[in-house]
Structures are given as C-alpha cells and as structure tokens.
Amino acid sequence: MTLLDAEDPSAQAVAHRRHLVRHHRIRTALLGLVAVVLLVVVVSIVLTLEGRARPVSVSQAVDNFHSSGAADSDPHPIPGVYLYRGTGTDRLSFPPLSQAEGPTLPGTVEVRTDGCWSFRIDYSTNHWQSWTYCTRPSGLVEPGGSVWQHWMVGPLGETNLSTLRCTQSLMSIPAVPAVGKVWPALCRGTSSQIQGILSSAGTTRLLGYPMLSIAGHQVRSVHIEVQWTLSGPQVGSEQDDLWYDARSGLPLRNRRSISVRTNTPFGQSTYTENGEFVLKSLNPVRSAN
C-alpha cells in the first residue's frame, strides 16, 4: 500500500469491505460444515433409535400368521399366535453391543402341508427363532430351524439369517417314556453373513414329566435338557431346558444359555444369549378382529 493509498479514505473502505466479504464467506462455509455435521449426527441418532430392538406384540405377530388347511392327521398344537412372557439379553463382544428380549414374546404355530408344524418365537423386533417339528414312530422330533437377527452398528444395520438342517433329528418328545435316556442329534447349517458350514452336535436327555401351572390350568409337560456343541466357522456351546405340552407338543417353557465365538477381519467376536420365556395363554389368537 502506498502512502497515497493510506491517506485515501476510499481505499481503506474498499479494503475493509473486502475483509468483511472474506470473513462472511469463511463464516458461511463454517456454518455450512456445522450444519452438515449436525445433520449427519441427527440422521445417525434417528436411524439408531429406529433400529433398536423393541418387544413384538401379539397383534403384530398375527399380521404375519398364515392359516393352513393341512390335514390334522398328526397331533400338533392349535395353529395361531400364543402369548409368552420372558426376559433375555443378546450380546456381542465386538463390536460391543447388546439388545433386550421381551417382555412380550409372541409364539406362532403354523401347520405345514407335509404334516409337520413350525413354532416361531419373536424375542424382539430384531430377533426371532423358529423350529420345525414332525411326528415320527420314535416320537416328536426336530429336523431343523432358523434364527434371524438384526444389529445396529451406529446408523448401519447388519442382518444375519442362520438355517440348520439335521441329518439326525433332535428328539423332543419320545414316544416311549424313558427318564434319563439320551438321544443324539447332528445338524449342519449356513449363515448369510458367515462363510462356511456350521456343524452342531447335540444330545437330548429326558428329565421327567412335571405338572406346570399355565393360565390357571395344570398341564402335564415333558421336560428335556438339550446340549449343543458347535464347530466350523462358529465355535461354542448351547444348553437348553425345554418343557413341552405332553399332548400337543406346544412349548410351555424355554430356558437357554448360548456362547459362540466367530472370527472376523477385526478379531474374534463372542456372541452370548441368556433368556427364558413361559407360556401365558392356552388359547391362540388367529385374527386381529
């Protein structure tokens, strides 16, 4: 700047205006950046809250119920949605996540055209499990099942569906009572998010036939203990105490403890699940009306 410029008020005014324009642009850019960051944070919070696990109501389960016209040649529970109550927690060690089960857990029974029937329990909006049951000369057996889970990792959702098929079905209710007897089972399966074939070797031990109080009624149950050992891409164990209606096979009570380790590109992650549910109504709901 020359001495003339320094003495020229108009030149000083122009420089001042330029300074104000630059300051305004910088402030506008910073405000825009802050707005973008706040928007990302808000969207992340909204997506995370929308994706968190919530209890599933009986009416929600009824909306997904599919009535079957299959023949009733084999004994099975009355199709429909049953009310269960329970608690539980699903946990991942990495990333460190957890989500609750219950307290309302609808259980849906559907009869298949092949005479077998399925039972699905909705632990939450992010977790359900289903089992298939078939009547055989040896008794009521479980030839397979599926587990679906959804996890929110920040604003991102990860879903996994695991399906097991048994070459040696699990014994649920033996045709001939034999307290203390053990039956073996062998299943193999796949998961949508995990490569490889999962192997699951199990045993059923018949513990007895206790009476349970269900909705004010005394119901004779079949109490079995099931132990699983998992190998392959997932390694771990599962122990279940199960009580079935001795007449229909309907699950009356379920208590389980699961611990499974999986290798990931970022290290080993351990999944644990501990929970229990109990039947609260002997009459299923089949329609929302």
Tell whether 32 and 174 lie within a shared domain. no
Structural domain containing residue 123: 55-279
Q: For residue 178, which phi and psi values (nearest 5 degrees)?
A: -155, 80
Tell whether 146 and 188 lie within a shared domain. yes
What's the rounded Cα separation, in Å, for the pair 212 and 130?
23
Give me 50's structure tokens.
């929308």
Total domains present in the chain: 2
Tell whether 82 and 21 lie within a shared domain. no
- Considering only CA atoms, which of 67, 145, 150 is closest in space to residue 108? 67
Interval 56-88: pLDDT, tens: 999 999 998 977 655 555 689 999 999 999 999
Give me 189's structure tokens.
């399966």
Planar angle of CA 119, 222, 68, nearest 5 degrees: 25
Residue 268, in any domain of the structure: yes
* pTM, 2 dp: 0.81
Question: What percentage of the chain reaches a pLDDT higher than 70?
Answer: 79
Q: Where are the alpha helices (DSSP H) in the chain?
A: 3-7, 9-51, 58-63
Tell whether 137 and 234 lie within a shared domain. yes
Tell whether 61 and 11 lie within a shared domain. no
Residue showing tokens 């040896």 = 138
Tell whether 184 and 267 lie within a shared domain. yes
Tell whether 85 and 216 lie within a shared domain. yes
Cα–Cα separations (whole angstroms), residue 6 to 14, 18, 21, 22: 12, 16, 21, 21
Q: For residue 275, which phi and psi values (nearest 5 degrees)?
A: -170, 175
DSSP 8-state code for residue 129? E
What's the rounded Cα separation, in Å, for the pair 160 and 192?
5
What's the rounded Cα separation, in Å, for the pair 104 and 102?
5
Tell whether 125 and 230 lie within a shared domain. yes
Tell whether 128 and 270 lie within a shared domain. yes
Confidence category of residue 4, pLDDT binned at 50, 70, 90: very low
Residue 123, in any domain of the structure: yes
Using an 8 Å Cβ cutoff, are 90 and 273 in contact? yes
Residue 261, in any domain of the structure: yes
Residue 286, in any domain of the structure: no
Give me 172's structure tokens.
């649920």
Tell whether 32 and 148 lie within a shared domain. no
Tell whether 240 and 103 lie within a shared domain. yes
Using an 8 Å Cβ cutoff, are 240 and 226 in contact? yes
Cα–Cα separations (whole angstroms), residue 172 to 38, 143, 147, 277: 54, 10, 18, 17
Interval 105-161: pLDDT, tens: 999 999 998 889 999 999 999 999 999 999 999 999 999 999 999 999 877 889 999
Residue 288, in any domain of the structure: no
Tell whether 100 and 176 lie within a shared domain. yes
pLDDT at 234: 95
